[in-house]
Structure 1
Amino acid sequence: MRSTAAFGRLEQFYQDPELDVGRVIQRPAAARPLFEKRTEPTGVTSTEVSFGSFRLLRTQFLLLEGDKPVPLGSRALEILIALLERHGELVSKQDLMARVWPNVFVGPANLTVHISALRRALRDGQDGNRFIVNIPGRGYRFVASVAISAHEN
């Protein structure tokens, strides 16, 4: 039976301690999540991230240019959030794919398509705007200056 043999190989894969898929790459302790939820005495609970003429309202899962919503699919928006959370750092293609498509196998072309849509929406590379840089074969880096501000609810 082919399915039994295939299952045995999969089972063997998951039992290999060197292939621990549950292992998490840890960031330095000094690195704080960009979008952590805060509860301060002043009632500040949401964070806005600004770059160029854009503002990301993470709690509303909304990207604005000025006051106009930017039409962007949820996967492209999730990629943007992942890049902003680690702005200035290289985010591997594997990390992005695991974040945007958890527990689903997709090819690298899916990531390329959504990065392209994100760049198009941001007009990346036009009018002197540069937000996302590709590190060939490795991943992407958000390179624009970012301003973070908190708002009261």
Structure 2
Amino acid sequence: MTDARPPSPAPGYRFDRFELRPAERALRADGQPVKLGGRAFDMLVALVERRDRVVGKHELMDLVWPKLVVEENNLQAQVVALRKLMGPAAIATVPGRGYRFTLAVETAGAPPADVGPSGRGNPPPSPRTHPRRPGTTCRAAWRC
């Protein structure tokens, strides 16, 4: 019998009054859809997904405009648009380094972590690369 679980929804993010769903290319504020240009949306996703660090200007340009050469003022224009939408404190400028997303982010819709007896999340089991012989038991779980 196979385990017929539906696929997990793509993870999204909640911050302030917003919900960001990258896989659906959707942003909502207070439950209502927000119109946001494609480049600003891509920049928001890049910053939220890298919220634990400063994202350099060149890295952002590569993420938002892949395989294109753009001027830095295009980057600044998207930052201005995002700050206008979310407030000036949502994106911090780190002089000489880049930008950082500063709002508290909660992951939404991510599959729950597998919690073992210790109460800590356990990594998923690695797939077995060799068949187990019938009638044998595995004594070392990490080898099975």
Give the TM-score normalised by the residue count of structure 1.
0.65
1:68 maps onto 2:32 in alignment: yes
Partner of 2:107: 148
SS at match of 1:110: helix
8 Å CA contact 1:70, 1:121 repeated in 2 = no
Larger Rg: 2
Looking at structure 2, the residues matched to 151 and 143 of structure 1 have their Cα atoms a distance apart, in angstroms, of: 21
1:57 aligns with 2:21: yes
For residues 110 and 63 of structure 2, the distance between their equivalents in structure 1, rounded to whole angstroms, comes to 26
Of residues 91, 103, 106, the one that matches 1:132 is 91
For 1:83, the aligned partner's letter is L
Name stretches of at least 5 consecutive residues in structure 2 with no aligned partner. 112-144
Q: Distance in 2 between matches of 1:84 and 1:42?
A: 27
The residue aligned with 2:60 is: 96
Query: Where does structure 1 lack aligned partners over 5 or more consecutive residues?
Result: 1-39
Following TM superposition, by how much is the alpha carbon of 1:43 offset from its aligned partner in structure 2, in angstroms? 3.0
CA distance in 2, matches of 1:144, 1:53: 10
Q: Which letter does structure 1 place at the counterpart of 2:48?
A: L
Assess if the C-alpha contact under 8 Å between 1:87 and 1:142 holds in 2: yes
Match of 2:126 in 1: none
The answer as to 2:43 corresponding to 1:79 is yes
CA contact (8 A) 1:71 1:121 kept: no
Residue 74 (structure 2) aligns with = 110
What is the RMSD of the two structures over their aligned residues, measured on CA atoms?
1.8
Aligned residue pairs: how many?
108
C-alpha separation in 1, matches of 2:65 and 2:110 = 30
TM-superposed CA distance for 1:133, in Å, is: 0.3
- Residue 27 of structure 2: SS of its match in structure 1? strand
> Aligned partners of 1:95 and 1:151: how far apart in 2?
26
Letter in 1 for 2:25: F
More helix by share: 1
1:69-108 CA deviation, whole Å, 9 max, x = no partner? 1111000010000001111310000000011111111110
